[in-house]
Amino acid sequence: MAGQTGVRAKAFRQILYVSALAMMAATSIPAGAATPEETAREVLSKTPIIDGHNDTPHQIAELFDRDFSKFDLKALPPEILAKTHTDIPTSRAGFLGGQFWSVYVDAALPKHEAVTRTIEQIDVVRQMIARYPDVFVYADTAATAEAAMKKGKIASLIGMEGGHSIGSSLEILRQMHALGARYMTITHSLTTDWADSATDAPKHDGLSPFGFEVIAEMNRLGMIVDISHVSEATMHDVLDKTRAPVLFTHSNARAVTPHPRNVPDSVLKRLPQNGGVVMVTFVPGFTSPERRQWEYERSAVAGRAKIEFTGNPAGEKAAVDAWIAANPQPKATLVQVADHIDHIRKVAGIDHIGIGGDFGGVDELPVGLENVSTYPALFAELVRRGYSKADLAKIAQGNALRVMRGVEAAAGK
């Protein structure tokens, strides 16, 4: 009996101790303390987001043949918003302050056609700005972007997605800069004549001699070097050569999701010396390890079906469809995007993180990040993980602006 009484007494003391801790914790939180959602909105209202990559101009070209009389960004119908993920109301709701609008064209196009279509895409951005002057302001420097945001406008910058857009010509590179392009992604999905892509067979072990010339000229012009989409060897070659900070405008951490489009730790460790920033993206296959594994397995099934059902496309499709029905596609989540931010902070530091959602460039987005209005939900998750207001402000825009200023300072040298 005495032993049982002692056990009960010990248990009672533990209950009292836990209760006391709970009371202390409760009394240490000020009455009316801000929720994570309130904190996120407070920070973003003062330091709105500069996003590194949005493909709405591509959607405008694909859906409306670049004809602005066919739609209104102030009121897109749901079926169109499901493709652009972006319109004016969602941009305002999401505290979007600055956007690098992507001027993407197919990497497989012949050189002359790629150049022509890139110029047409630049015109789409220019038309958009001109059509909604109460919302968008053209920006080409950190200072003009900051000035636009102070006026409550969305600073609109232009980024070329893929080195194929210059037709292997420094002269065309200079003219694209003159037309307003302020970054160039060195490759897209295919290796170019001068740089290896992350998702194509390598030809140069990184950059070719001409590729090094391109980086030097971009530095001289004051054009940001974007090394999303490139191979790991190309990443290192760029970091060896550049005199200015770099951006990954829409990439995640490879250690979290092993996709070649993501940034390996070997490169993340070099970012503090360079000053560059990884703008974390929302692409499901780059975000979710489970989704990436599913994609690998689906590709293997499709490859086997192609051989097994040679000359029988209906049988090939049925085999793949049956596998998908038995193995539902995993969904990426907002929490997993935050996991990538955590990893980049751990390896590179808080000064090297930004946001590059790739809205308008994917068919599906993570649960909780369905369109541009959802940025605050991601920042609320970061608050829950212990990120300070100063941290949030850096991720939202401070780090991106620092890169822009660094690139501008290196220009002309």
The whole-number pLDDT of residue 32 equals 63
Q: How far apart are CA 134 and CA 131, in angstroms?
A: 9
Q: Is the pLDDT of residue 352 over 70?
A: yes
Q: Is the pLDDT of residue 30 over 70?
A: no
Q: What pLDDT band is residue 8 in, cutting at 50, 70 and 90?
A: very low
Q: Tens digit of pLDDT for each residue in 92-146?
A: 999 999 999 999 999 999 999 999 999 999 999 999 999 999 999 999 999 999 9
Give the whole-number percent of the chain exceeding pLDDT 70: 92
Q: Which residue has the tokens 């010339």?
A: 213
For 62-114, the three-class secondary structure string (H helix, E strand, C coil) is HHHCCCHHHCCCCCCCHHHHHHHCCCHHHHHHCCEEEEEEEEECCCCCCHHHH
Q: Is the pLDDT of residue 40 over 70?
A: yes
The whole-number pLDDT of residue 33 equals 74
**Stretch 20-49: mean pLDDT:** 72
The domain segmentation of the chain, as residue ranges, is 35-288+332-410, 290-330
Q: CA 34 from chain center: how many Å? A: 28
Q: How far apart are CA 397 and CA 52, in angstroms?
A: 10
Given a contact cutoff of 8 angstroms between Cβ atoms, the answer to whether 127 and 60 are in contact is no
CATH fold for the domain made of 35-288+332-410: TIM Barrel (3.20.20)
In sequence order, the β-bridge partners of residue 49 are 96
Give catalytic residue positions. 53, 55, 161, 188, 229, 250, 358
Judge if pTM exceeds 0.85.
yes
Q: Is the pLDDT of residue 4 over 70?
A: no
Q: Tens digit of pLDDT for each residue in 328-339?
A: 999 999 999 999
- Cα–Cα nearest to 172, from 108, 107, 114: 114
Q: Which residues contact 221 (CB under 8 A, 6 or more apart)?
A: 173, 174, 177, 411
Q: Tens digit of pLDDT for each residue in 296-322?
A: 999 999 999 999 999 999 999 999 999
Range in 7-11, 146-150, 154-158, 170-174 the model is least confident about = 7-11
The whole-number pLDDT of residue 34 equals 92
- Helix, strand, coil shares of the chain, percent, nearest 5, are 55, 15, 30
Residue 255, amino acid: A
The whole-number pLDDT of residue 381 equals 98
With b for 16 or more beta-carbon neighbours within 10 A and e for fewer, the 325-364 pattern comes to eeeeeebbbbbbbbbbbbbbbebbebbbbbbbbbbbbbee
Element (H, E) at 193: none
Q: Is the pLDDT of residue 5 over 70?
A: no
Tokens of 195: 């740089």
The whole-number pLDDT of residue 258 equals 98
- Cα–Cα nearest to 399, from 246, 251, 256: 246
Q: Tens digit of pLDDT for each residue in 355-392?
A: 999 999 999 999 999 999 999 999 999 999 999 999 99
The whole-number pLDDT of residue 366 equals 98
Element (H, E) at 247: strand 246-248
**Stretch 233-255: mean pLDDT:** 98
With b for 16 or more beta-carbon neighbours within 10 A and e for fewer, the 241-264 pattern comes to bbbbbbbbbbbbbbbbbebebbbb
**Stretch 259-266: mean pLDDT:** 98
Q: How far apart are CA 311 and CA 217, in angstroms?
A: 50
Q: Is the pLDDT of residue 17 over 50?
A: no
Q: How far apart are CA 182 and CA 131, in angstroms?
A: 21
Q: Is the pLDDT of residue 79 over 80?
A: yes
Tokens of 105: 């064209």
Q: How far apart are CA 70 and CA 80, in angstroms?
A: 12
Give the whole-number percent of the chain exceeding pLDDT 90: 92
Given a contact cutoff of 8 angstroms between Cβ atoms, the answer to whether 46 and 396 are in contact is no
Q: Is the pLDDT of residue 6 over 70?
A: no
For 367-383, the three-class secondary structure string (H helix, E strand, C coil) is ECCCCHHHHHHHHHHHH
